Chains A and B, each alone.
Chain A
Amino acid sequence: GQQLNQSPQSMFIQEGEDVSMNCTSSSIFNTWLWYKQDPGEGPVLLIALYKAGELTSNGRLTAQFGITRKDSFLNISASIPSDVGIYFCAGHPGGYQKVTFGTGTKLQVIP
């Protein structure tokens, strides 16, 4: 099925650094969701965004719903080793349509 363009695909960063990743789509969404998946586990919801322009934080994580409704970004500040994992964005057009998942960003943190 359709997938969002998520970048970067992977990144190595030093512990303590800030991280930024984003998703772009050719179609608009009513909802943007960000998930983290650890190896062998299901995705866990980090942040949900429901309004264009919305900026929401969850601890060291901040995500924004792009004003065009076609993009979203996730920032992680002061990364720590347990931030390691794969981060997925997801967009929902609303109504009875299905959610579309990004291709994932694999984050590795060097202690």
Chain B
Amino acid sequence: GAVVSQHPSRVICKSGTSVKIECRSLDFQATTMFWYRQFPKQSLMLMATSNEGSKATYEQGVEKDKFLINHASLTLSTLTVTSAHPEDSSFYICSFEDEGTDTQYFGPGTRLTVL
């Protein structure tokens, strides 16, 4: 399966600051990738879908101005949490989709803690 990396693996920041999370596909290119959020003991919640070269599509209830997504290339996407607040503390996971098989390959996740 595909290898996806995420950086950083965990980050602690002060309330009001912005945090950028990088997601890279190491061994294949994908035009479509996804950002998820996961709360403890819950399943994955899709935040947004991004296609390389176009604007991301956000799920209902996800603020696009707060969670900025840049799908810079076929192997790199970034999620920036702007003006972070304690309620933004969560586990953020990206995935790339192999469109030939509709199979998603996930990154290892980023644990964000906002103080």
Contact = CB atoms under 8 A, between A and B. Distances in A.
| A, B in one complex | yes
Interface in A62-111: 88, 90, 92, 94, 98-99, 101-104
Contact of A1 (B4, B45, B101, B109): B45
B60 to A, nearest CB: 8
Q: For chain A, which range describes its interface: under 10, 10 to 19, 20 to 34, or 35 or more residues?
A: 20 to 34
A90 B44 CA distance: 10
Q: Which 7 A-B pairs have the closest CB atoms?
A: A42-B106, A92-B102, A42-B109, A31-B102, A42-B108, A43-B106, A42-B93
A4 to B, nearest CB: 9
Interface of B: 1, 4, 6, 42-46, 49, 59, 91, 93, 95, 101-109, 111
Nearest to A46: B1
A104 to B, nearest CB: 5
B102 A88 contact: no
B109 A31 contact: no
A27 B29 CA distance: 30
Contact of B43 (A45, A48, A98, A104): A104
Given A31-B103, A98-B46, A104-B43, 19 more contacts: A1-B46, A40-B91, A40-B111, A41-B108, A42-B6, A42-B95, A42-B106, A42-B107, A42-B108, A43-B44, A44-B106, A45-B1, A48-B101, A48-B103, A50-B101, A90-B104, A92-B103, A98-B49, A101-B44
